[in-house]
Structure 1
Amino acid sequence: MPQPSDASATPEASLIRHPGVASFIGSRSLSGLAYQMQTVAVGWQIYELTRSPLALGLVGLAQFLPMVVLAFLSGHVVDRFDRRRIAAICQILAGLGALVFAFASFRHVVTPGLIYALVAFLGAVRAFEGPSLQALLPGLVPPALFSRAAALSSSLFQTVTIIGPSVGGLLYGVGAGFVYTVVAAIFAGAAVSLLLVRQRQPARPREKVSLATVFGGLVFIRSRPEIMGAISLDLFAVLLGGATAMLPLYAHDILHAGPWGLGILRGAPAVGALTVSAWLARRPIKRHAGLLMFAAVAVFGAATIVFGLSTWLPLSAGALVVLGAADVVSVVVRSTLVQLRTPDNMRGRVAAVNLLFIGTSNQLGEFRSGSLAAVMGPVAAVVLGGVGTILVAGLWMRLFPPLRHLQRLDEDVA
């Protein structure tokens, strides 16, 4: 009897069979699940302690500052040493941080200062874990399949991003300490899964540490206008339009829902992101990639405005679903550009700069929205951010013509 042809296999199944891909995606998904559960617990806990939108913003600032300090150093470390082991060590350290959270919660000694300190520690850990994971995937699949692999990894990551906030919100009903204990166990599983990756490490020159090598990633990005445009567009769009820091306040004070409502809001963007990323895994972007990215950012801003004005939980969740769907288009375009057009010996440093921009937009964006909400109210702060995002999309179309004219993502591979 003739054997079934490999051509009949789905693209997802073919990718999973590449050595190490399943273990890598499993580790990234588990790590994402743990972070999402912990984010819900931290957000609800700090708001219960302070009832202050500024405190929610300070959580984002505490995560952001270590990333700024360590970003360029971490990229250099990732390009010199085993990326797999660096990421696994980071996941173990994140698990230990979760255990400290659990101990303090069980003993009822949690204070805002302790939360800020632990969140800052986790920010430092993620400054090394993020570039390590980003730089690993391109070495596991051929360049022609990378766009599909990025979309598949994103779709599975978004699945746990849906599950994580909901599970975190439900478990918080049992107790914050219980949530953090489960989070620590999941981080341990992520580290084990990553250590199962058997990637043949390419020979990379051990460059001497200097200002030129440490800041090499930034210099490379500045030399590629399409990459610079994509990264900076995401930076300013999420910095202005990000409303995630306000979710505990919206769930508690505006939508009058409990931790379960916060879990729904946290998971809603991932529902949209999962749908679109699953579609892109089967049908990768082949034309008008740049224009699609600009359109997605504009939709992201419009969805932010709707969320900011909504006082009905289903409409708020629906707006966040659209927001997540638009955001994943930008994520896939940006990550594919960064990874495929960067030489392997620089991927750690470029990934570190990329994640610094992402951290700036996410964590500093949380601080911006929290501090602005403390001055002018949460609704005005969120709506103003959405308007700003739309304006940024229009401005960047004029400032970065190479990104606007970008067609395929797999051309001009470095």
Structure 2
Amino acid sequence: PLCLLVLDGYGIYDEYEGNCAYLANPENINGAIAQAKQKQLYVQLKAHGPAVGLPDETDMGNSEVGHNALGAGQIIAQGAKMVNDSMQGKLFESKNWQTITAAAKEKTVHLFGLLSDGGVHSNITHLLTLLRKFAEAGCPNVRVHALTDGRDVAGDSSPKYIKMLEDALAQAEASGSGFSYRVGSGGGRMYVTMDRYNSDWNIVKRGYDSMVHGKIDESIVPEVGKNGYTGYYKSMSEWREAVGASFPDKSDQNYPPFVIVDADGNPTGKIGDGDIVINFNFRGDRAIEISRAFIEGDDFKDMDRGVAPKVDYYGMLIYDNDVGIPKQSLVPNPEIHNVMSEYLVASGVTMYAMSETHKYGHMTFFWNGNRSGYLDTSLEKYEEITSEPATPEQIAKNPAMKAPEIADATKIKVD
């Protein structure tokens, strides 16, 4: 058998004091590399920039684009590049954009997603462009539900992005008579909204509650009432100052949810029936669950949504092409064909793919060109080792995650 291992978080870089893989001096990996070099079976692959379909050399790689490229064996134009190109004009000439802006004359537009320029899940420049274009189209009411990053960018960098957002909202609001462009709600990305692989639906519920109901469920947000944290603030910048003071040991990615309220304490950005909701993240894995919460009907059972409004929902892209999550997008998806798994299945080769919950979709969905499920159940077997929730405490306590269990399970299959 041939075994292909993807080492999460491991890469090749300059040998200096900031390179943890170099400092760890991993005996087995270094031995395998030395042996491969001796046999002239060693090659280095780029995992960033145009080599993996990103706009330029300054764009760092990520697990989505890396697994797409490895699984496809080809360069795929990725979401960031496609959105960049589309925002030069095509997006704003599309039928979907015309439909959205026509409806937005009467209904509120809600934009939600990750507020940073990390370029892994989103880019703040896309959000700022959309705000400007909505104002130019004469859409009077827009709300942004913003998630702080602290994972793909520095852990305490959110004030910079909040200022950029609030400045852009003020400019858009000033551009039209009666315009109202405001932040509605938000929180930290790893605690609010952006769960993946059904790891913890309470993460999704925290975001959904704040966006839709304008409330915070204290049974799943124990931070409320601690150290002066209320969860309800007049602006996002006020919230950021308060949450940083209340929880100095937390970083941007782990902050609790917040809701923006008026002078009387009423939420100012609740999502209602007929409103337009746009997820401005372009990466799919952490966008699927919250998209399902908005688009699925009464048979949705993964969390209690309360009274769910019927909205016109769009992703920046379609996050799962196979099952259509969501049904509509601002930008057409990349089409990935002739991936390695298709070739192996056509050749009658059996395959086994396995990882833990937090990376399972990387070895299946991303690896197979953003397809869900099996290509051929008679030749493929996928297995998942259940992960603990990815809380900061759990990550710090167990950085190896499920690597030992994955190694043991793989050894059994190989033997």
Taking structure 1 as the reference length, the TM-score comes to: 0.25
Say which structure is richer in helix. Answer: 1
- Structure whose alpha-carbon radius of gyration is higher: 2
Q: Which has the higher contact order (CA 8 A, sep 6+)?
A: 1
Say which structure is richer in strand. Answer: 2
